[in-house]
Amino acid sequence: MRITVAPDQTGKLIAALGRAGVRETGGQLFGEQLAPSDFRVTHLTVQARPGTVSRFVVDLMQAARDAIAFFHRTNHTYGRYNYIGEWHSHPSFAVQPSGTDLDTMRNLVRDPRFAGNFAVLMITKIDGAALSAAAWVFDPRGQESTVNLEVEVEQGH
Ligand SMILES: [Zn+2]
């Protein structure tokens, strides 16, 4: 699977990481399917409620509201525009899923109410001036693999 983060969304991500500082922050990834196994993140949400220095907990109410807003804006064309997954930062840890992160994603995709075919987890951090990010994909059948993640950067600043 390949996932590209659109440049304006990368800008939003970097700003959120800067605001959160030593605390974890996160949200959801929504976007467009370009081809089978090829997705572009066109809408990255940032949760208002921050995490702690070592933990990020999804605000399910905000996540639901943000999803409704995205589906409304994209005219409910779910075949093309849909939920891609979750993201959060690891300001104090490596860009790798923790045991808790793995449990959370496995529980998410195995929940009988989960409507998708997969969910991605992207983990990010600012290393000095550089953004680092990596992503993994989970599916309800227990398949897990690394995502080929491309983070595009805004030009012309
Ligand atoms: Zn984590």
The alpha carbon of 75 and the centre of ligand 1 are apart by a number of angstroms equal to 32
Q: Where exactly are the structural domains of the chain?
A: 2-151
In 21-144, which ranges are continuous DSSP H helix? 60-73, 99-110
Amino acid in position 136:
W
The alpha carbon of 123 and the centre of ligand 1 are apart by a number of angstroms equal to 7
Percent over 70 (pLDDT), the chain: 99
How many residues belong to the chain? 157
Helix (H, G, I), strand (E, B) or coil at 87: strand
The alpha carbon of 66 and the centre of ligand 1 are apart by a number of angstroms equal to 21
Taking Cα atoms as reference points, which of 35, 29, 38, 36 lies closest to residue 3?
Answer: 38
- Per residue in 15-54, pLDDT (tens digit) is 999 999 999 999 999 999 999 999 999 999 999 999 999 9
Alpha-carbon Rg for the chain, nearest whole angstrom, is 15
Q: Is the pTM of this model over 0.85?
A: yes
Nearby residues for ligand 1 (ion, Cβ within 5 Å): 98, 101
Query: Which CATH architecture is the domain 2-151 placed in?
Result: 3-Layer(aba) Sandwich (3.40)
Nearest 5°: the CA angle 115, 77, 80 is 80
